[in-house]
Amino acid sequence: MAGLFYGVRLFIYHTEAQEKPQPDRKILSDQFEIMERKLWYIIAVPSMVLTIAAGITMLILKPVWLQFGFMHIKLTFVAGLIAYHFVCQHKMNQMAKGIFKWTSTQLRIWNELATIILFAIVFLIVLKSALNWIFGVIGIIVFSLIIMSAVKIYKYYREKK
């Protein structure tokens, strides 16, 4: 998760560096590309592979967990997190080629999506079937709205400066 969180932070800084004049833009972009690549291939990808391997091993050792509804929903969120990982990798490769399709604000919102997915995964495992699913879904939606509102408020104050 640290690789995903920090990686998108680097994408935000890398995108904002494109607003700088030359030679600053080139120097910053080159440095961000190095940092992104190292973070991704030394931390994020190996961590993802190890986490998936550990999860599969756990399910092989305890296949009974697949009989619970919360596990199916959790695995759906995990699949979403894996997809998130590959979208981030695609963004990193685009930026290395000089293609910046998302604004820093869009990347900030994208960064919060990982927080929401992480919250949902932890929420499902900690509470399992203790809460009604309706309250769980409402809780995730409210949490998402709070996070997205915080991004918008931050953008407002940032542009005000």
What pLDDT digit, counting tens, does each position of 70-118 carry? 788 889 889 999 999 999 999 999 999 999 999 998 898 899 888 888 8
Chain center to CA of 141: 17
Q: In angstroms, how far is the first alpha carbon of the chain from the final one?
A: 31
pLDDT: which is higher, 27 or 156: 27
State the pLDDT at residue 130: 60
* pLDDT tens digits for range 142-151: 877 887 788 7
Report the pLDDT value the prediction gives residue 17, as an integer from 0 to 100. Answer: 95
Model confidence at 52, pLDDT cuts 50, 70, 90, reads very high
Question: What's the chain's average pLDDT?
Answer: 88
Average pLDDT over every residue of 130-141:
68
Count the Cβ atoms, other than its own, within 10 Å of residue 147: 16
Q: Please tell me the least confidently modeled range out of 47-56, 60-69, 143-152.
A: 143-152
